[in-house]
Chain A
Amino acid sequence: PTGKWTNKERVLIFSSRGINFRTRHLMQDLRTMMPHAKADTKMDRKDKLFVINEVCEIKNCNKCLYFEAKKKQDLYMWISNSPHGPSAKFLVQNIHTLAELKLTGNCLKGSRPLLSFDPKFDKEPHYALLKELFIQTFSTPRYHPKSQPFVDHVFTFTIADNRIWFRNYQIIEEDGSLVEIGPRFVLNLMKIFQGSFGGPTLYENPDFRSPNMHRREMRLAAAAKVREKQMVKEMQKGKKTSAKEDLESDVTADVFLTPAEEKPADIQTEAPEPKVVKKKQKAFKRQRMQMLSLHRNQYST
């Protein structure tokens, strides 16, 4: 059943230089899952971010997912509606890609997803804006030439612990049995901007701690522990070496002491006589038995 493709959404998915293999695989997986996505070469981090808007225009895309890797450790994700905005920056954590053997589900390449949101998305204005952004970015347009007409998987976005958790499940039965396909990741919101990759800040996440600060805190905590241990050790050493206080002498302690009677000292000048040890004459066993029986006979008769 063909129809006209009217919802012209195109998403540009690309990254900066310095990403690691996991990020690269995540990007590839997202491109696989979203047939309305386009790829581009890596961007140099020296360029300012608003250059991305021009790249989007060249590629004729109106949404963008940009992955930025810093220090080869932290991954940030920008999601933006180009060219007028809004856009948001997240810290990405807990990435699991399609290739992991524990994620056993599978789906058609390019099939349209169902999107499932937590009701918490409707409660706060910043979450409501993010929800709209996710819907427009992640849902595959109907009748897209590369899409499959079946709906066989579902993306879930849930809010827990002030983060957004993303999961992708395959629909096996219509009664709701699911298997996870992947990929999966966690988004930690940092800021929402009014423009695309710039503009006034609309929202800043108060609970967000940058990974650098987090690492610093861990290091400080460890250092504080070590210092405390050292201090305790030194205090113990000090206690040992410091002079002990004299106990106050108790005046009444000697009241009930009675000195022992003196015994006359008996000094022996001559050695004592050696003891005479009598040796027992024990008869042999047979003889003993004979004597015993003799005894018995005597008494019995």
Chain B
Amino acid sequence: MVIGSKTMAFVEEEALLGQDSEEENSELSDDELQEAFAAGLLKPGMNVLVDKPKKLVNNVEGLKQCLADFRKDLPWVERLDLTNLPAANIISQAEEKASAPAAGELDADDDFQREMFFYRQAQATILEAMPLLNRHSIATKRPEDYFAEMAKSDQHMQKIRKKLISKQMIMERSEKAKKLREQRKFGKKVQIEVIQKRQQEKKAMMSAVKKYQKGMTDKLEFLEGDQKMNKESSQGSKKAVNKKGPSAKRKYKDQKFGFGGKKSGKKWNTKESYNDVSGFRAKIAHGKGGKKGKGGKQNKRPGKSVRKKMKNRS
């Protein structure tokens, strides 16, 4: 405990600051205070106890001495230590941002910046160390046939790989879902636009026709104009569509079920069709087939008049 003597004005400030050391006055007896006063240590006025400021040890000399004693002078090859600032930040250079704060202002709370700082520090070390290691002929690359125990087991590395792959899959799936949703919205938009365009065209056509009928215009160009435009546009669009042609699904179905394509011209009486006797069944032609042995249609549908009668009856 240290007794600090102060004048009256100061004392009030101290009291306001709430020094609770005044209670410790009771530990000092009156006799001791009187003696101290007589000895000239205390001055008149209010005396307030003040805590000694906490002294933190920073024995610089001691530290240096200790370091000197403790230091081992080993060749660099034994220690492999390097001290360096982080390597240049390529990303920030490329973006020409205001350069990242110097080491002194590294913000420990900005996780990404902090980790990038550590990463770059390690990078700089490696870049500096490679030539040194080569000089001392210490290898850094493991040869392909060198099998040795790794710090993490193979099983563990597989787990890590699986986790990474699953993360990628999840991301891809979510991307796909997003795209589909966007496509659907877009498709709907396009559909609405097409319908509206058609309606507008129809309206224009009808109004043009009406005008002609009422005798306001005697030009029939609107007909041709429309046709021309339609032909071009349809051809144009058909050209674009026909590039892809029928889809693979369509082609497969055509191939399998076979009736797609041009119908007109299929049933002509050509030389080939006349000579084609593949549809000839001898038994049926000579009347010996007999409707699949008379097990074919047992429920033959009655005719129209019969059906009417049945209906009227019930």
**Interface residues, chain A, CB within 8 Å of chain B?**
1, 7, 32-33, 81, 84-86, 98-99, 101, 104, 106-110, 112-122, 125-126, 128-129, 131-133, 135-136, 139, 141-142, 148-152, 154, 156, 158, 160-161, 163, 165, 167, 169, 171, 174-176, 178, 181, 191-192, 194, 200-206
**Residues of B close to A126: CB separation below 8 A:** 58, 63
Residues of B within 8 A of A101 (CB): 159-160, 163
Interchain nearest-CB distance for B260 vs A (Å)? 54
**In contact, A154 and B126 (Cβ under 8 angstroms):** yes
Q: How far is the CA of A125 from the CA of B163 in the complex (A)?
A: 45
Q: Is the CB of B108 within 8 A of A118?
A: no
Shortest C-beta distance, B143 to chain A (Å), equals 9
- Top 4 closest A-B pairs, CB basis? A161-B108, A116-B125, A176-B123, A115-B81
Bound-state CA distance A204–B108 (Å) is 22
Q: Which of B147-155, B205-213, B277-285 sits within the interface?
A: B147-155
Given contacts A109-B148, A132-B71, A203-B58, 4 further A-B contacts (CB under 8 A): A109-B151, A150-B138, A156-B121, A158-B106
Q: A-facing mask of B123-163, CB < 8 A → 1, else 0?
A: 11111011001000111111000001111100011011001
Contact check, A86 vs B70: say whether CB atoms are below 8 A apart: yes
How far in angstroms is the closest Cβ of chain A from B101? 11
In whole angstroms, what is the CA distance A128 to B70 when docked? 12
Residues of A with C-beta under 8 A to B59 = 200-203
- Tally A-B pairs: CB < 8 A: 179
Contacting residues, chain B, for A150 (C-beta < 8 A): 138-142
Q: Which residues of B contact A149 (CB under 8 A)?
A: 138-139
In the complex, whether B98 has a CB less than 8 A from a CB of chain A is no
| Contact indicator per residue, chain B 57-94, by CB within 8 Å of chain A (1) or not (0) | 11110111011011110100111111111010000000
State whether B81 touches A119 (Cβ < 8 A). no
B residues near A119, Cβ cutoff 8 Å: 83-85, 103
Inside 8 A of B106's CB, which chain A residues have their CB? 158, 160-161
Q: Do residues A156 and B118 form an inter-chain contact, with CB atoms below 8 A?
A: yes
Interface size classification for chain B: 35 or more
Distance between Cα atoms of A98 and B72 in the complex (Å): 31
A117 touches B81 (CB 8 A): yes
Q: How far is the CA of A105 from the CA of B123 in the complex (A)?
A: 15
The CA of A110 and the CA of B160, in the complex, are separated in Å by: 22
Give the residue name and chain of the B residue nearest to A98 (CB): B152
The residue that A154 contacts in the complex, of B62, B71, B122, with Cβ under 8 A, is: B122
28 contacts between A and B (CB under 8 A): A81-B70, A85-B66, A98-B151, A104-B160, A106-B151, A107-B150, A116-B82, A119-B84, A125-B64, A125-B67, A132-B71, A150-B139, A151-B140, A152-B142, A154-B126, A156-B118, A161-B106, A165-B118, A167-B122, A171-B140, A178-B119, A200-B59, A201-B57, A201-B59, A203-B57, A203-B58, A204-B57, A206-B56
Given known pairs A169-B119, A171-B126, the reply for A160 and B81 (CB within 8 Å) is no
| Complex contacts, A116 vs chain B, CB 8 Å | 81-84, 121-122, 124-125
- Residues of chain A contacted by B150 (CB below 8 angstroms): 106-109
- In angstroms, Cα B129 to Cα A286, docked, is 109
Please determine whether A192 and B63 come into contact, CB atoms closer than 8 angstroms.
yes
User: Does the CB pair B103–A118 fall under 8 Å?
Assistant: yes
Contact A99–B156 (Cβ < 8 Å) = yes
| Given known A86-B70, A201-B57, contact A139–B80 (CB-CB < 8 A) | yes
Q: Is the CB of B56 within 8 A of A178?
A: no
Chain B contacts for A160, CB-based, 8 A: 106, 108, 114, 117
CB distance from A111 to the nearest CB of B (A): 8
Interface centre among A7, A119, A150, A181 (most CB of B within 10 A): A150
CB distance from B183 to the nearest CB of A (A): 34
Determine whether B164 belongs to the interface, using a CB cutoff of 8 Å to chain A. yes
Given contacts A115-B80, A115-B81, contact A132 B67 (CB under 8 A): yes
Interchain nearest-CB distance for B270 vs A (Å): 70
Collect the chain B residues with CB atoms within 8 Å of residue A109's CB. 148-151
Give the residue name and chain of the B residue nearest to A136 (CB): B72
